[in-house]
Structure 1
Amino acid sequence: MKNNNFIKNVLFTAVLSAAVTGCDFASAPKDEIHSDGKTMGTFFSITVVGDYPGGQKGLDRDAEEVLHKINKDISTFDKDSVLSKFNRSKSTEPFPITQDMADVIIESLRVGNDLNGATDITVGPLVNLWGFGPKKVNRDGNPPTLEEINLAKANTGLDKIHVTIGKDSAYLQKDNPDIYIDLATVGEGYGADKLAELLDRKGVQNYMVSVAGAIRTKGVNNRGKDWVIAIEDPSNEHAVGRNVIVPVCTKGQAISTAGSYRNYIAGKDGKTFSHIIDPSTGRPVEHGTVSVTVVGPSALWTDAVDTGLMVKGGEAALKYANERNIAIYVVTRNANDDGFETHYSRAMHRYLECE
């Protein structure tokens, strides 16, 4: 699972330039309004094609209000957030949460159960144990012991938390006093969705929103073309610039990527440990899959699915996606470990056909 306050530090996703996508330079581009900054321990960016009520200042103000509310609900780095207070509580009685927070947790549980626990928002104790969470652990390159891993695993499990929703109330309950929820798995996607909801309410017809690697698009870019997102070539991980392995036309869908090659801890023996933790073993994944990109109806959903499929590994991920008609793109190390191979599900094909 992912490490800090919604940072995945995975494959870089970005809007491709017109030179890459083959846009028509003869047509004059429409005006754009931009808003960007830091949030959730990472960065956000909003591009609006055309007008926004209140202009630049209005967009900045409204975006900040949306993101501030999200942080106050589900940040593990804000000690006063609702989630932080829940995590500190040793009570097993129902704990009051916001309706929005309940929606995030319910969707996370639904996806996690469908993935047989590969996406697990209770994996926080293991994330912290390996040194990727807000509770930093300095092990001088030494991995946790088996005993430490087993102790942390005893405090994880999707079946150990419960959500109750009433007409005007929502509650979260833990079976074990030491349960610790980490919504970093889905936070970026949730943030992108809420920003997209804001733009929809304001009547914006053409936009792109990104919170780190989670992206939402609608309509067209400033040249009247489909938004095109780049998946980074992982062989370029140490270079200053970033190369594109494939362009993806989102066609109004959400897209997010989980990957293992940019955020890791180096052990004393030279072995690296990925920040993607397998809840079933309590250890970082060790297979050759370096990234999984998912396209779907909401960034919250793609963010939850991509991590679980990254845990499963490329072969299992493709099987899962093809059985459910899910669009995914997988990058794996080749058998000689000197290059990469790419594979994608049947449903992904339409998003690789860019005009």
Structure 2
Amino acid sequence: MFTLIFLAGCFPSSDLSKQEVLLQGRTMGTTYNIKIVIKNNAVDTQQLHTGIDALLVQLNQEMSTYIDDSELSLFNKSTSLAPIEISIGLTRVIKEAIRLGQLSEGKLDVTVGPLVNLWGFGPEYRPDIIPSDEALLAARQRIGLAELTLIGNKLAKKVPNLYVDLSTIAKGYGVDLVAEYLEDEGVHNYLIEIGGEMRIKGFKHTGELWHIAIEKPIQDPTGEHRSVHQVIIPKNNAVATSGDYRNYYEASGQRFSHIIDPSTGKPINHKLVSVTVIHPSSMTADGLSTAMMVMGEAKAIAFAEENDIAAYFIAKTDHGFVEQSTVKFMQYLK
């Protein structure tokens, strides 16, 4: 959900030995773009690229609901209530999902998958009709973070048909994973983007700080007409935006967002159209931005201020877009 732009930064460099290398690929049903800044020939970029791809393949095999034999898919298919041992990566993501779910009082709920599928935004095909109240009630009876337990690396469900969907934070985790890998490989200046989720560190090859543009939240499912709304300088942080202006459909004269409110079982319906969060962790920023999109404008702003979150909000009114940001976010505005 970001447009990358490169504006004049603060620290010009005359070091011609540095080069900027772009690594690209596909993962989790989307694309990734990684810019790294290295000394000439100091890093084997092909080997680095291969390592990144291997990490992301493993992540997909652990957490995808689109892969039938992924670790998460097998857990979802099982009706056993017995705890099972899960991988380190899956443990990290579910632990953070539970923490953020509790912090947001259930607005981020990774068990909401049955409702996501029911409304046509999951691995299953979109229904031709709007779900009935009976279907919504049945789906809501099998969701809830309280039905999921994680002790150490042992994961268990309290209801046999509980279904976990980590799409709200898995891409963010992928960004963090790549950042950790780059650091281990001695790369300390980079911009990582996976499906719109980002993490930035250091400087461009010119010595300039990375500049990022928050996208104008225009309803455009194809993404062909993107434009800049606000430029930010995140420094050494992750950036995540959640919005309902791209992934939606219309039926029976109504517009349905892919973001589901667990408390109603229905797509969100309020004036908040975009939330951007800056945080050291992309996984955390990813989850927080989604949780606040569910909350709506007033509750989200209060939640962000109360929890000292750097957040930027765009709401749609009859007179155009209105922006607000928390005090902590203001330091990153261009």
What per-residue deviation string (whole Å, max 9, x for no partner) do you get for residues 68-100 of structure 1? 110111011111110000000011111221022
Residue in structure 2 matching 1:108, options 97, 101, 112? 97
Residue in structure 2 matching 1:62, options 51, 57, 70? 51
1:345 paired residue number:
326
Residue in structure 2 matching 1:307, options 256, 279, 290? 290
Residue in structure 1 matching 2:139, options 143, 148, 152? 152
CA contact (8 A) 2:119 2:127 kept: no
CA contact (8 A) 1:35 1:59 kept: no
What per-residue deviation string (whole Å, max 9, x for no partner) do you get for residues 265-307 of structure 1? 2112x21100010000000000011110000110010011110
Aligned counterparts, 1:40-59, within 5 A: 40-51=28-39, 54-59=43-48
Aligned counterparts, 1:82-97, within 5 A: 82-97=71-86
Aligned counterparts, 1:125-136, within 5 A: 125-136=114-125
What per-residue deviation string (whole Å, max 9, x for no partner) do you get for residues 42-73 of structure 1? 11111101147652311210111110110111
Higher RCO (Cα < 8 Å, 6 or more apart): 1
What per-residue deviation string (whole Å, max 9, x for no partner) do you get for residues 139-162 of structure 1? 2xx211111111101111000011
Give the match's secondary structure for 1:65: helix
CA contact (8 A) 1:163 1:173 kept: yes
Query: In the superposition, relative to structure 1, how do residues 239 and 43 fare at CA in structure 2: closer, same or farther (>3 Å)?
Result: closer
Determine the C-alpha separation between the residues in 1 that align with 2:56 and 2:9: 34
Give the match's secondary structure for 2:274: strand
CA contact (8 A) 2:115 2:260 kept: yes
Residue type at the aligned position of 1:253: N
What percent of counterpart residues are identical? 38
CA contact (8 A) 1:236 1:243 kept: no
TM-score for the superposition, normalised by structure 1? 0.89
Unaligned runs of 5+ in 1: 1-11
Residue type at the aligned position of 1:174: K
2:60 paired residue number:
71
CA contact (8 A) 2:113 2:163 kept: yes
Aligned counterparts, 1:1-355, within 5 A: 12-18=1-7, 21=8, 30-51=18-39, 54-139=43-128, 142-165=129-152, 170-235=153-218, 237=220, 240-268=224-252, 270-334=253-317, 336=318, 338-352=319-333, 354=334
Q: Structure 1: which 4+ aligned runs deviate by more than 3 Å?
A: 21-30, 51-54, 235-241
What per-residue deviation string (whole Å, max 9, x for no partner) do you get for residues 103-130 of structure 1? 1101110011010000000000000000
Determine the C-alpha separation between the residues in 2 that align with 1:25 and 1:93: 58
Determine the C-alpha separation between the residues in 2 that align with 1:291 and 1:183: 20
Give the match's secondary structure for 1:347: helix
Residue type at the aligned position of 1:146: D
Give the match's secondary structure for 2:218: helix
CA contact (8 A) 2:95 2:150 kept: yes
Number of aligned positions between the proteins: 331
Give 1:23 deviation, angstroms. Answer: 6.8
Unaligned runs of 5+ in 2: none
What per-residue deviation string (whole Å, max 9, x for no partner) do you get for residues 177-221 of structure 1? 110000001011000000000001011110011111210111111
Determine the C-alpha separation between the residues in 1 that align with 2:144 and 2:163: 10
Residue type at the aligned position of 1:91: S
1:3 paired residue number:
none
Determine the C-alpha separation between the residues in 2 that align with 1:77 and 1:239: 23
CA contact (8 A) 1:322 1:345 kept: yes
TM-score for the superposition, normalised by structure 2? 0.95
CA contact (8 A) 1:95 1:171 kept: yes
Give the match's secondary structure for 2:322: strand
Give 1:248 deviation, angstroms. Answer: 1.1
Residue type at the aligned position of 1:350: Q
Give the match's secondary structure for 2:136: helix
CA contact (8 A) 1:23 1:223 kept: no
